[in-house]
Structure 1
Amino acid sequence: MSVPQPVTKIVVVGGGTAGWMTAAALVRVLGQMPGLSVTLVESEAIRTVGVGEATIPQIIGFNRLLGLDEMQFMRETRATYKLGIEFVDWLRPGHSYVHPFGSFGIDMLGIEFQHFWLRGQQVGDTSRIDDYSVAAVAGKSGRFGWPRPDNPKSPMSKLSYAFQFDAGRYARFLRGYAENAGAVRVEGRITGVQQGGETGFVTAVTLEDGREVAGELFIDCSGFRSLLLGQALGVPFIDWTKWLPCDSAVAVPCELGGRNEPLTRSTARTAGWQWRIPLQHRIGNGHVFSSAHIDRTAATDLLLANLDGKPLADPNQIAFTAGHRARAWEKNVVALGLAAGFLEPLESTSIHLVQSGIARLLALFPDTGFSAVEIDRFNLETTREYRNIRDFLVLHYRASERDDSEFWRYCRNLPPPDGLAEKLEMFRSSGRIIRENNELFTEDSWLSVMLSQGVTPQSYHPAAWMLDEAETRTRLAHIREVIRQTVDQLPTQDEFLHQNGGAIPRSEYLTA
């Protein structure tokens, strides 16, 4: 029996966050494989996109996989903590809510908490679902503390967190890590792609100065260009503009100002939305919009008029199309990040999609035979993940009362994708949430957005009737009080960073 040889020559095309996350993970996990080489090719002349700087809790696992020291990471990337996303004006102007990390309340009598909250609403309780999330309450209070899984009776045992950081600094931080672990960086602009005549496999990339970088497995992290997967191998792009009409963004950092909360903020605008991501040294801002409903000049002016501090750079204009490549793995090329697809950063999933793609690649890592079985599984799971995230993003636009612009009227009247339609039908019927195939967003995430954006269940689980009205109100009030008392004992985010060694010097607060 002829057994294919292990892949040992890996070439990562493109740097930035995606490229250096990939290189760092490969040398960390596979670095001891005999003869393994990881080469990353990038050009300093090519700018990275960097449309967002916020993450979701899965980034904790990636950093721990690399063995990073959290406080060093916080300092190096100028990071702050993130307990969720505050959505402002999405349901209607003047309304806001937090999509928090972690869970709501506590399950009772063997059924999910939301059914008791819904019963409470029916019997006169007027509390908001946000009041039952320690992450939401702490986030709005500007406080932070580490989760307490060792104390299951504490609300802190249900807390999850993520980071807001400077993506450029994170890439540089990981570059140092990867190079120290054995990855080799090659500077140069790629001008050609060499392919095998019979197989069509990529064999090497050619640089502007004539050098060639050969490999067996190529990771395409070349951004929107999708240099290998899209251009060289011709894998088509599946366009989701119908469901996600925003196709442009303008981004600009500004000086610190406004409230210092461990939350990303998304504020709905007439033709899209604006992000606000507070870091230790500055605030990241951007306006994601539909160019069919507002022009770039007006979109840029709107962003600049709604900053909390003085701009620190010229606005960065970005154009994109929502969707993904039909196959993220073709022949011996795997695309990660923007080269594989793009979904607007409304729920901070861009960096996660890189991370999950890396994890999937490591789990299905090929030999030189490049079996179709593993490739097909990779593509199936990747497409499923994009689709599930798409449906969650569409929910934000679809479930809105806004009709103050043509953009919002389009979004409100958009027929939802089948998966989202099924979730909405089930929730409206009984307050139950469908979650399939271990999809990224949890039941609590769906609960938060659906309830907070006006999706109202007609009924709830019959078991909730096992508590009478008085007991229901008493238990709900107790949960709220325990969460509030717990949050009141937490330090502010600034205090936490200084106490634990994650704060940067004050002299760096306003640097770009």
Structure 2
Amino acid sequence: MSNPVRKVLVVGRDAPLWLSVLALHHALSPAGIAVEAVELPAMARPQDIQAALPALEAFHSRIGLDEGDVLKATRGSFSMGQMFEGFAAGRPFFHAYGSHGTPIAGVPFLPYLTRARRQGLGVAFEDFSLTAAAAKQGRFVLPDDETGPFARTDYGYHLPAMAYGEMLKRQALRRVPVHAARHAEAVLDAGGDMAAVDIGGLQIAADLFVDATGAQSLLLRKGLNTPFESWRHWFPGDRVLTAAGPALSPIPPYARITAADTGWTGLFAARDATHIVHVFDGSQTPDEIAARGIGFGDAVVTPLAPGGSTAWVRNCIGIGEAACVFDPLDAVGLQAVQIGLAHLVTVFPYDRVHQPERAEYNRLMTMANEGLRDFQLLHHVLCRRTSAFWQKARAAPPPDRLRHRLDSFLSAGVLAPQDQDSFTADSWNAALLGHGLVPDAYDPRADLTPDAALKGNLQYMLGFIREQVGKAYDHDTYLKAFCGG
């Protein structure tokens, strides 16, 4: 190898910058590769929340962060899923971070539930989720040996963004050199690759550059003129309002997502405040009207432009919103950061000139980002509201891969498998069934179990869930015990 990568420069701000620095330092320092950071002014505000999916716990552990320390430093809370209201006809539905039911005679659970509901069973899919049952009663269930064989429970977090970024920064400052800067500009060489980053009179050179500057994408899109594909024809919201209200007591261990005629609103509870995210269409609702509807004086409105770019161009890799901007729905923002970093570590280029890994990285990231987009999009495609906002959301045909998934589910209750899917089949089933989709058929193997045996199995599952929820700590008690108040 004649042109080894010796130095990686990460440019960005807030949590995406520090997660990138910590992950890359952890992975690359044993190989003698230096990681440095350029920190731009933080954009996180007191109103902002980082809602995270379950994968963040393992990611933190991998880069040496203790879960208790993270929650203590941020005053965050656990999240076992999301309650959706106002999207579908009938009652709200719960997207739980965990499994639903258990296989019977080697056949997945959903075909049995479909059969039982055709026979008159009035129990919802989410009622067979230990995670959902506990969350809705304000209780917190940890995965353990007793529940593991029956039901996989899982959880994410609600982490106040400013405190989370500051906590990560403290960790990063102990490990890598950090250059504070007011601005950053790409410096290109004669061949069009990035040679350095100018931070105001000082140019910092590197072999590989990581753009974690958020939606500004100062290196990838601005510096290298990388095209951006807009998703606005699918996502009508182009404005995001954030605010913070009083803390809830007790603190619900889940987010509440409510669809209204003008858009959707999320409530994300942490220990010291309840964070509010409202997405709307600025052409239909002026900012001041949206802020008045939320009712909190600290509300801040920012633009939203969902869409994506090629993530790795020349010797620059965009992480998180620098490569792909998502609607805040379903808490996928930090998930995209984690996926980008995990794949970068896996296919890291050790030659700064010849980088065949670039094509594979872009292939993986395209599939991953489209998978996240499609899960978010199903809520827009299937929402039953008839206002202008939701009609606009349904106006454009969905992407082919999402249309194929919807058709497969409707025809036989089967999800067409897709690579790089961040959401489990249980998550897809919970969302699709919650929106009111009912499969026309089911796996015929489910008919081999006699009615009495099926009834007994379902009763056992529901009884087990009631027993475990009854033994669980309430969320506030667990937070106090785990985080020391």
TM-score by length of 1: 0.91
**2-side partners of 1:285 and 1:31: how far apart?**
39
Partner in structure 1 of residue 5 of structure 2: 7
Deviation at 1:384, TM superposition (A): 1.1
Q: Distance in 2 between matches of 1:401 and 1:207?
A: 49
Q: 1:397 to 1:232 in 2, by over 3 A?
A: same
Equivalent positions of 1:112-123 (< 5 A) are 112-123=108-119
**How far off is 1:207 after superposition?**
2.0
Relative distance call for 1:355 and 1:191 in structure 2 (3 A) is closer
The aligned counterpart of 2:160 is: 166
| Cα offset, 1:277, TM superposition | 0.7
* C-alpha contact (below 8 Å) 1:86/1:97 kept by paired residues: yes
Partner of 1:341: 324
Q: Secondary structure at the match of 2:140?
A: coil
Deviations 1:41-85 (A, max 9, x none): 1233x5247864211111011111022221111100112111111
The answer for the alignment partner of 1:455 in structure 2 is 437
User: Which secondary structure does the structure 2 equivalent of 1:241 belong to?
Assistant: coil
> Shift of residue 111 of structure 1?
1.5
Of the candidates 243, 247, 250, which is equivalent to residue 256 of structure 1?
A: 247
SS of the residue 1:190 aligns to: coil
Q: Distance in 2 between matches of 1:29 and 1:138?
A: 37
2:473 & 2:457 partners in 1: Cα distance? 27
Q: What is residue 352 of structure 1 aligned with on the other side?
A: 335
Alignment correspondent of 1:195: 188
Among the aligned pairs, what percent are the same residue? 28
CA distance in 1, matches of 2:147, 2:95: 24
Correspondence for 1:435: 417
For residues 371-382 of structure 1, the aligned pairs below 5 Å read 371-382=354-365
Per-residue deviation, 1:474: 3.0
Q: What number of residue pairs does the alignment pair up?
A: 484
Contact kept? 1:125, 1:473, Cα under 8 Å: no
Q: Distance in 2 between matches of 1:462 and 1:285?
A: 45
Match of 2:362, SS? Answer: helix
Structure 2 matches for 1:180-219, cutoff 5 A?
Answer: 180-181=174-175, 183-190=176-183, 192-197=185-190, 199-208=191-200, 210-219=201-210
Q: Is the 8 A contact 2:308 2:323 kept in 1?
A: yes
Letter in 2 for 1:195: L
Corresponding position of 2:172 = 178
Deviation at 1:498, TM superposition (A): 2.2
* 1:167-187 Cα shifts (integer Å, max 9, x gaps): 221221111112212x11111
> Does the 8 A contact of 2:185 with 2:218 survive in 1?
no
SS at match of 2:226: coil
Cα deviation for residue 465 of structure 1 reads: 1.3
In structure 2, the partner of 1:472 is 454
CA displacement at 1:367 relative to structure 2? 2.3
Q: 1:145-198 deviations in whole A, cap 9, x for unaligned?
A: 32015764443xx111111111221221111112212x111111225321111x
**Equivalent-residue separation in structure 2 for 1:406 and 1:19 (angstroms):** 38
TM-score by length of 2: 0.95
Listed as ranges, the matches of 1:469-508 within 5 Å are 469-500=451-482, 502-504=483-485
Partner of 2:369: 386
Shift of 1:99: 0.3
Instruction: State which of 111, 128, 135 in structure 2 corresponds to 1:132.
Output: 128
In 1, Cα distance between equivalents of 2:394 and 2:174: 51
Contact 1:80 1:163 in 2 (8 A): yes
In structure 1, the residue matched to 2:307 is: 323
Mapped contact 1:328–1:379 kept (Cα < 8 A): yes
In the alignment, the residues of structure 2 paired with residue 120 and residue 172 of structure 1 have an alpha-carbon distance, to the nearest angstrom, of: 51
- Secondary structure of 2:308's aligned partner: strand
1:293-332 correspondence runs (5 A): 293-304=284-295, 311=296, 314-325=298-309, 327-332=310-315
Paired with 1:149 and 1:243, the residues of 2 have a C-alpha distance of 43
Per-residue deviation, residues 326-359 of structure 1 (Å, max 9, x unmatched): x111111111111111111211110011011111
* Partner of residue 509, structure 1: none
Evaluate the alpha carbon distance shift between residue 191 and residue 12 of structure 1 in structure 2; reply closer, same or farther with a 3 A threshold.
Answer: closer
Q: Partner of 2:186: helix, strand, or coil?
A: strand
Contact 1:253 1:283 in 2 (8 A): yes
Identify which range, 274-283 or 51-60, moves more after superposition. Answer: 51-60
Q: Give the 3-state SS of the residue equivalent to 2:50 in structure 1.
A: coil
| Counterparts of 1:413 and 1:456, CA distance in 2 | 23
Q: What SS does the aligned partner of 2:478 have?
A: helix
> Contact between 1:271 and 1:294, CA under 8 Å: does it hold in 2?
yes
Question: What whole-Å deviation, never above 9, does each CA across 1:367-388 have from its counterpart, x for those lacking one?
Answer: 2434342001111111111111
Amino acid at match of 1:247: D
Gap runs ≥5 in structure 1? 305-310, 505-512
Listed as ranges, the matches of 1:12-161 within 5 Å are: 12-34=10-32, 36-44=33-41, 46-48=42-44, 52-92=49-89, 95-149=91-145, 152-155=148-151, 158-161=152-155
Amino acid at match of 1:475: N
Specify the code of the residue in structure 2 equivalent to 1:343: F
> Which stretch shows the higher mean deviation, 219-228 or 183-192?
183-192
- Distance between the aligned counterparts of 1:370 and 1:264, measured in 2? 46
